Amino acid sequence: MRTTLTLDDDLAMILKHEAETSGRPFRDVVNEALRRGLGGVSDRPAVDIPQPVPMGPPLMDLTNALSLADELDDGKRSDREADHR
């Protein structure tokens, strides 16, 4: 039976990853996941999803990054205007 489903982005990503790594069609992966979720038995283990890890404190202060970018941009404009004179 054909039907249209709207999947959350994270779930679609997991299903697509499983289909790509297993070499199986997306529809087979979706059907298997639905069967498992509804209490059916599956012969394939669940996909391990990488978890985020802390990266520690920032190495530089970016508090004024936008104002620094503006100043640098203004400097380039001044240089261009001086070249045209």
pLDDT of residue 78: 61
30 sits in which H/E element: helix 26-37
In a domain, 68, yes or no: no
pLDDT of residue 82: 66
pLDDT of residue 24: 95
CB 26 within 8 A of CB 19: yes
CB 32 within 8 A of CB 44: yes
The residue with tokens 């004024």 is: 64
Other Cβ atoms closer than 10 A to 15? 18
pLDDT tens series, the chain, 85 aa: 888 989 999 999 999 999 999 999 999 999 999 988 888 665 666 678 888 899 898 887 778 888 888 888 876 666 656 666 6
In a domain, 39, yes or no: yes
In a domain, 26, yes or no: yes
Domain housing 29: 1-49
The count of structural domains within the chain is: 1
In a domain, 61, yes or no: no
pLDDT of residue 66: 84
